[in-house]
Structure 1
Amino acid sequence: MSATSSPIPFTGFPFPKSEYHKRQQNVLKAMEGAKLDALLVTAHHHLRYLTGYNGQGGYFRPFPLILTPGRAPTYVVRKYDELAVRAESCIDNIVPYTHQTDFAKVCADVLRGYGLRAGKIGLQLGCWNLAPADVTALQAQLPDIIVADATRLVPSLMAVKSELELKAMREAMAMTDIAVRTFQASLRVDLTEVEMAKIISDEVARAGGELWTSSTNILFGERTRLPHGLPTRNPIKNNEPAFMEIGGAKYGYASGIVRCAVLGRHSEAESLHALSVEALDAAIAAIRSGVTAGAVDTAARKVIERSGRPRAFRHRTGYQTGIHWGGRGNLSLEPGAEDILEAGMTLHMPVILFGESGRLIGCSEQVLVTDRGAEILGTTPHTLFCR
């Protein structure tokens, strides 16, 4: 009797193949405007956006998606992960490599096969998942290519969401709202951060959702001095603040939010939070299609400067969201940013302030840019929760 293997369940990509084809065509059109002969997409969240594959195997070396006008996309991946990529991506043309040292040669062979021994090749030089050694290795294989920085090309297209993407982000936001309500309902003396995290996770799971766990920050008391902190066994005491940054997830799309609370009373936290609310409201009021990212940042920053505490605000006002929590090369709401906001963009806007004691307190919203202004995606007020 001959043994037969069972078919692997198809996990698949979340959207219709036509959605990914449209995204790829938009990239090719942008490449034409940038006069690129080819583009190697290597950032994991950009690959997920264009293929559906989550990039789990990409720690080995880059898994570039090679886009060239007039040809089907080619995905260069590690042989070990080839079956997973075929099962979870919409790409048909997959070229594998086996060892790390094979990466540059196999990529170069694909480009040479497309007649690109020379030409202008776009690389995501300012994104994660591409090391300087990867670039020099490719250049050694193809010494006549011109490397162009294409860091902003894909994220500029990802910034404006389709209806399918907005549906995923709204569903993720519904889980974020459950997480916030659970956080507020569960806060009590001697509850630890890890206990709170589990209560929230269990409640979201009961609702059939999931959290973006790698970016979950839950901090109580003195640990609110940390900008980013995973939950520990630290308990909250009476008259102490609590800080939470958390987000629901759907198909890799994250809808994060910041909410704070005070158990009892805490004058510094209450004062900081009131200022953060005022600045956040001013920034949201400045949002509409056609304004610059820098103008929105200025609206928040003016409120804080008028308060006489300009050093309390030590970061940007917000950033582009979507697949993944955020990424290098994405649109950023920061001083002088000239990116023009467009209807359909989604932004996370955390106005988190430093107090004299070093504690961080603030609030945020996840917003959708519209022609009329900003639509807040969440349903939980950004007022300070006090118990």
Structure 2
Amino acid sequence: MAQLQYADCTSKRPVRRSRRVLVWVIFITILCSSLYISYLSLLLLPRIFVLPAALFNKPLLDLSDFSNLADHCAAIPPIPLSDFVSRQRSLVKRLRETNAGAYIAEPGSNGLYFANISSAQWHLSERPFLIIITPAERPVTEASFTILAPRFEIERAKLLGIPIIRGEGLGSQSIAFIEWAEDEDPFNVLFKALPDSVTNGTVVLDQGMRKFIADGLVGAGLTVKSGGYPPRIAQIREQKSAAEIELLKCANEATVLAVREVKRRLRIGMTESATRKILEQAMTAVGLTNGGGLVLFGENAALPHGSGTDKRLEYGDFILMDVGGSLHGYVSDVTRTFTISPPGSIDPRHLELWYVVLAAQKAALKAAQRGVYARNVDKIAREVVKTGLEDYGVKMQERWRFLGTNDQSQENFDVNDYFTHRLGHGIGLEGHESPYLVGGQSNRAVLATNNTFSNEPGVYILNKVGIRLEDCFYVPENGPGVLLTEGVGGLSASPWEP
């Protein structure tokens, strides 16, 4: 009997141990399943449960919520009179060098640059309004102004406040106003009023002048300088003054700050259009006019200027914002590609491409020095992207499948299929102005001191991902380009830190 009892006792121990193991297995299985289901829920919730559009399409914040941005550019003054006079003197010098009697422009970017008259101040219409700048007789370094305006608008024209040295003594400048009646030919009226030095010589017409205006001036008897718009005159505006660079710095810094504030307010499920509205609010709050830009989520960013759809933000998406605004007429241009999703939810191939684009941006900035051909800066950025795409393919072992091609020969790989636009453009009173950072032997532009450019390499893979990073910079007297966004940290630090 004792042996039987002993045998019964020992036979129960493995049963109890097995039960404990089974309980632990069931517990761990349930725990892992719960964690996995929770993870899937986080990924799928935005897709299967979309909150009403009205919730996402109304602004999340009032302008007062951006009050921390309001003072960033408040102390930056507009362009001073001394800068305008310096520009006018440079123009007079170029006119004399080219034996031209006058420079004629309409309200616009060059009208704003030389005479502080923009197309916003004087709306262009079928009625000619012209700014004529001629070398003064005394002193020979100064500019004289003539304004052609409709008779019924002449008093308004006199209120425009053209920046000149006013007074009666030597060195003062003059403005003549020529009016034309509705039943008169304005071009003939102007021709008869201009001095012989203009009518018997040649004139330079602004490169932005409308064709019917140019035709009217030629038809009245003026002779236009041959050879197109003189590069020497274009270079005046291309090389910025210290005051211009300060304005561009503050405008670009403010734009970066606005983007960062918008990032803090982004939520999964928001639409591109709702985000644009918040972005516009932030740009207004930071003190910039005409602020706004592109907002593209996920695969929509593979089209550099947008898809025309209104995608909702999903986990794992990159967010591309290409943003600009204006400060006293000077324009910002900043692009950030970033994410609000945790690292584990981002396709590692997308992350790798992001760092390739950043490397191209850094290489271009380092190469952008005085005396360098603009086309070579574009070339250097393109080479970095090409190498990055090739290395990326080796590491991931599926480059060709991901890039959407079955041709796996290195000879047929063209970086321009993925880095589809030029590296950059000049920036100042216009968002895009000369000179340009673009490849090709036809681009003979050479970087000069105080040229200002955008630096915006990108990689775009259709239906998958688009990444672009953009910061503007100026060319110093010596050394590499200096970021206009340096005061707020400069380049993006990571895909989570724009």
Question: Structure 2-normalised TM-score?
Answer: 0.66
Residues 341-368 of structure 1, C-alpha deviations (whole Å, 9 max, x = no match): 2222211111122214375321011112
Equivalent in the alignment of 2:17: none
| Cα distance in 2, alignment partners of residues 252 and 140 from structure 1 | 34
- 1:357 matches 2:463: yes
What residue ranges of structure 1 are gaps of 5+ in the alignment?
1-12
Note the 1:133-148 alignment, pairs <5 A: 133-142=212-221, 146-148=225-227
Note the 1:195-274 alignment, pairs <5 A: 195-207=274-286, 209-213=287-291, 216-229=293-306, 234-264=311-341, 265-267=346-348, 269-274=350-355
Residues 78 and 284 (structure 1), Cα distance of their counterparts in 2 relative to 1, 3 Å cut: farther
Equivalent in the alignment of 2:59: none
Residues 11-56 of structure 1, C-alpha deviations (whole Å, 9 max, x = no match): xx93332321111110111222333222213471111111222222
| Cα distance in 1, alignment partners of residues 179 and 464 from structure 2 | 50
| Cα distance in 2, alignment partners of residues 169 and 65 from structure 1 | 26
Equivalent in the alignment of 1:116: 198
Among candidates 125, 131, 145, match of residue 60 of structure 1: 125
Among candidates 145, 151, 163, match of residue 73 of structure 1: 145
Equivalent in the alignment of 2:29: none
When the two chains are superposed, the root-mean-square deviation of aligned CA atoms in Å is 3.0
Residues 293 and 196 (structure 1), Cα distance of their counterparts in 2 relative to 1, 3 Å cut: same
Question: Structure 1-normalised TM-score?
Answer: 0.83
- 1:157 matches 2:236: yes
Give, in angstroms, the shift of residue 380 of structure 1.
4.6
Give, in angstroms, the shift of residue 244 of structure 1.
0.8
Equivalent in the alignment of 1:326: 432
Residues 227 and 94 (structure 1), Cα distance of their counterparts in 2 relative to 1, 3 Å cut: farther
| Cα distance in 2, alignment partners of residues 42 and 100 from structure 1 | 21
- 1:305 matches 2:386: yes
- 1:132 matches 2:132: no
Residues 78 and 348 (structure 1), Cα distance of their counterparts in 2 relative to 1, 3 Å cut: farther
What residue ranges of structure 2 are gaps of 5+ in the alignment?
1-76, 137-142, 165-174, 391-413
Give, in angstroms, the shift of residue 147 of structure 1.
4.8
Equivalent in the alignment of 2:109: 45
The alignment of Structure 1 onto Structure 2 pairs a total of residues equal to: 367
C-alpha contact 2:203 2:223 (8 A) present in aligned 1 = no
Equivalent in the alignment of 1:281: 362
Residues 309-359 of structure 1, C-alpha deviations (whole Å, 9 max, x = no match): 5121222111111112123xx111112332222222211111122214375
Among candidates 326, 333, 345, match of residue 451 of structure 2: 345
Residues 80 and 325 (structure 1), Cα distance of their counterparts in 2 relative to 1, 3 Å cut: farther
Larger Rg: 2
Among candidates 97, 104, 113, match of residue 33 of structure 1: 97
Equivalent in the alignment of 1:192: 271
**Bigger share in strand:** 1
Secondary structure of residue in 2 paired with 1:59: coil
Secondary structure of residue in 1 paired with 2:318: strand
Letter in 1 for 2:484: L
- 1:90 matches 2:200: no
Residues 132 and 361 (structure 1), Cα distance of their counterparts in 2 relative to 1, 3 Å cut: same
Give, in angstroms, the shift of residue 120 of structure 1.
2.0
| Cα distance in 1, alignment partners of residues 258 and 152 from structure 2 | 37
Give, in angstroms, the shift of residue 291 of structure 1.
1.5
